[in-house]
Amino acid sequence: IEKIKTELDIGKNSTIEGIKRLEFFDIIKKVRVGKQCTNRYILTKKSDWKIISEVCLKDYSEVCDTNFKGLLDKLHGFVTQTSNSKKTQKKENPKEKDLSPIGEIVTKTISIEDPKIIELTELLYSRVKENYSFLVEKKTEKQWQADYKEMDRINRIDGREFKIIKFIILWSQNDSFWKQNIRSVKKLRKQFDTLMVRAKGQVDERGIKDYD
């Protein structure tokens, strides 16, 4: 962060906000390297980048506590400006074909297609059901989608690898205290750092070297 701040000559808050946006839209990805698990950011493939849509911006505003209307106004302003520019270009070059109509991006929606996200979400709830079979809760499709998105955020925004998420799910549901508290994806994300610390302490205490 300090390096980016210095090179771009911008404030720390602006730097952090910019990184959050790039992470959210899958343009960069945080990885932990070295013995001290130092954060590093890598550029992802362009094909993996999220499409900027109204739904996506609403998601971003909820996660990063940002004004949704302000973001939407900027998007619509950009779409209008780009559309007008393309109309002018078409008049100047009538034979050119518009291969990417940017006006369509507002109506596109996001879907969680990664089977690993679905698998981990269902793993958590299946273990909760095993621990507390008397808790009967029928989720709606909307609730499942919200859980998938939250699980996706643990991986994509928080930078947790799938194998680590799976390990923490299994560990928490085998722990007498934490299985009482971790009964939703939202709680899992909120307590993830604490769970990591507690799990590592137990792993170190027992001298386990390979806990994959």
149-178: pLDDT as tens digits: 999 999 989 999 999 999 999 999 999 999
User: What percentage of the chain reaches a pLDDT higher than 90?
Assistant: 32
Residue with tokens 């989608």: 145
Q: Would you state the pLDDT for residue 148? A: 92
Identity (one letter) of the amino acid at 62? E
104-124: pLDDT as tens digits: 333 333 445 578 999 999 999
Q: What is the pLDDT averaged over residues 89-93?
A: 54
Compute the distance between CA of residue 170 and CA of residue 131 in angstroms, rounded to an integer.
Answer: 12
Which residues face 41 on adjacent strands?
30
Backbone angles phi, psi at 159, to 5 degrees: 75, 25
Reported for 104-107, long-range contacts at CB under 8 A and 24+ positions apart, including other chains, are 105/51, 105/52, 105/53, 105/79, 106/53, 106/54, 106/75, 106/76, 106/79, 107/53, 107/54
Q: Would you state the pLDDT for residue 84? A: 56
64-75: pLDDT as tens digits: 555 555 555 655
Length of the chain: 212
Distance of CA 82 to the CA centre of its chain: 28
Is 0.75 surpassed by the pTM of this model? no
Compute the distance between CA of residue 140 and CA of residue 133 in angstroms, rounded to an integer.
Answer: 19
Distance of CA 106 to the CA centre of its chain: 20
Q: Is the CA virtual torsion 104, 105, 111, 113 positive or negative?
A: positive
